[in-house]
Amino acid sequence: MSNKPFSSRYNNILNRHYLLFFILIQFFIKIACQAQDGKTWLRFEGKEGPGKGRHIVLVSGDDEYRSEEAMPMLGKLLAQHYGFTCTVLFPIEPESGHIVPSYQNNIPGLEHLEKADLMILLTRFRELPDEQTQHFHNYILAGKPIIGMRTATHAFHYEKNKNSPFAKYHWRNAEIGWEGGFGQQILGETWVAHHGDHGTEGARALIDGIAQQQDHPILRGVKDIWAASDVYTVKNIPKDAEVLIYGVPTSGMNPESPVNWEKSIMPMAWTKDYQIEGGKKGKVFTTTMGASVDLVSEDLRRLIVNAAFWALDMPDKIIADMNVSIVGKYEPSMFGFGTFRKGMKVEDFK
């Protein structure tokens, strides 16, 4: 018979049961999460490559620029060519389970941000439940890197729950220290206006010569970008932001359209640091390009891929001829309100 006191043996038994219980809970959580893969979010497992072991979460949720098409394409590309494990999140209408970009109050799977190494964000005017936004907030507190695209500058719109602790992210926030909300304080700009004539003028990228001459890693191999989405007005980016690309409107909606030199240039891609109260410092790459049709541009895809490596402190892995070929079929829809494909399911983008 053991000489250990009964209470000690009893505690050991309890500890073993607690450990078994914890393991079982983790197992069932994993099973539950796996069950949602292909239903409310997608997972592209990384293969071999420099990104192996790194996790990128791509968050879609805008009702105009078809991020629900763009993000799966980018996720496949980053997983297949470079080994990153990519999780893609979508705006899901609870009643139907379909991807509905105009449904602004539900993006399941944001808990994946807790273990993410990089977030790529393209949302517009979302007002999510606090329990979902909490994961987003935790990510920012941790100072992890962010790539913000197009309408991410006005990612949040708090109208119903103005007492939410996250209402400070509202794109028109006037609170001191949070002017312009998430967009202005984290990404460097909120929504201001269309600088180009929306829907009739595209955007020609003008690469900053000094940054290019200094071999900025994000610009390696980037030479020719035309985007169908027009140039945004930018007026609030901080002085310490580094502008890498400027944009000028084109008089027409195809890559051969001439530049409209009657309009001035605007910052169209930049980097900056961010840090919120109580949080760690992080870094950001922001571009006002990013519609699904914009990403037909090979060099725009190259810009985003380069930015991912830069954000993850892997600039030495960036070479001028990075493979940015599209994996599988990609037939993006033209941007517009209410023009998204109806009845979309997450599994459609596998």
Q: Which two tokens stand for residue 205?
A: 């990228």
Nearest-angstrom CA–CA distance, 119 and 30: 21
Nearest-angstrom CA–CA distance, 195 and 205: 14
Give residue 12's pLDDT: 60
Give residue 7's pLDDT: 56
Q: Is residue 231 part of a domain?
A: no
Nearest-angstrom CA–CA distance, 27 and 219: 43
Global confidence as pTM: 0.90
Cα–Cα distance list, 23 to 3, 26, 113, 115, 318 (Å): 30, 5, 22, 19, 40
Q: Is residue 207 part of a domain?
A: no
Q: What is the pLDDT of residues 1-25, one digit of tens each?
A: 445 555 555 556 555 554 444 443 3
Give residue 34's pLDDT: 44
Distance of CA 130 to the CA centre of its chain: 19
Give residue 30's pLDDT: 44
Give residue 35's pLDDT: 43
For residue 31, what pLDDT band results from cuts at 50, 70 and 90? Answer: very low
Q: What proportions of the chain, in percent to the nearest 5, are helix, strand and coil?
A: 30, 20, 50
Q: What is the pLDDT of residues 43-90, one digit of tens each?
A: 999 989 999 999 999 999 999 999 999 999 999 999 999 999 999 999
Q: Is residue 251 part of a domain?
A: no
Domain with 83 in it: 41-191+268-349
Q: What is the pLDDT of residues 97-156, one digit of tens each?
A: 999 999 999 999 999 999 999 999 999 999 999 999 999 999 999 999 999 999 999 999
Give residue 56's pLDDT: 98
Please give the torsion angle defined by the CA atoms of residues 158, 160, 161 and 163, in that order, rounded to the nearest 10 degrees: 90
Q: What is the pLDDT of residues 253-306, one digit of tens each?
A: 999 999 999 999 999 999 999 999 999 999 999 999 999 999 999 999 999 999
Extract the runs of DSSP E, i.e. beta strands, from the chain. 41-44, 55-61, 85-89, 118-123, 146-149, 202-207, 226-227, 242-250, 266-274, 282-287
Residue predicted with more confidence, 203 or 29? 203
Longest CA–CA separation in the chain, Å: 94
Cα–Cα distance list, 313 to 60, 228, 274 (Å): 24, 31, 16
Nearest to 276 by CA among 344, 178, 188, 162: 178
Nearest-angstrom CA–CA distance, 194 and 220: 28
Q: What is the pLDDT of residues 233-263, one digit of tens each?
A: 999 999 999 999 999 999 999 999 999 999 9
Q: Which two tokens stand for residue 225?
A: 């970008």
Across residues 313-326, what is the average pLDDT? 97
Extract the runs of DSSP E, i.e. beta strands, from 150-281. 202-207, 226-227, 242-250, 266-274
Q: Is residue 9 part of a domain?
A: no
Q: Are 128 and 107 in contact (CB under 8 A)?
A: yes
Phi/psi of residue 66, each to 5°? 60, 45
For residue 37, what pLDDT band results from cuts at 50, 70 and 90? Answer: confident
Q: Are 322 and 306 in contact (CB under 8 A)?
A: yes
The residues, any chain, with a CB within 8 Å of residue 334's CB and separated by 6 or more, are 228, 293
Q: Is residue 280 part of a domain?
A: yes
Across residues 35-42, what is the average pLDDT? 80
Q: Is residue 3 part of a domain?
A: no
Q: Is residue 92 part of a domain?
A: yes
Please name the amino acid found at residue 240: D
Q: Is residue 166 part of a domain?
A: yes
- How many residues are listed for the chain in this entry? 350
- What domain count does the chain have? 1
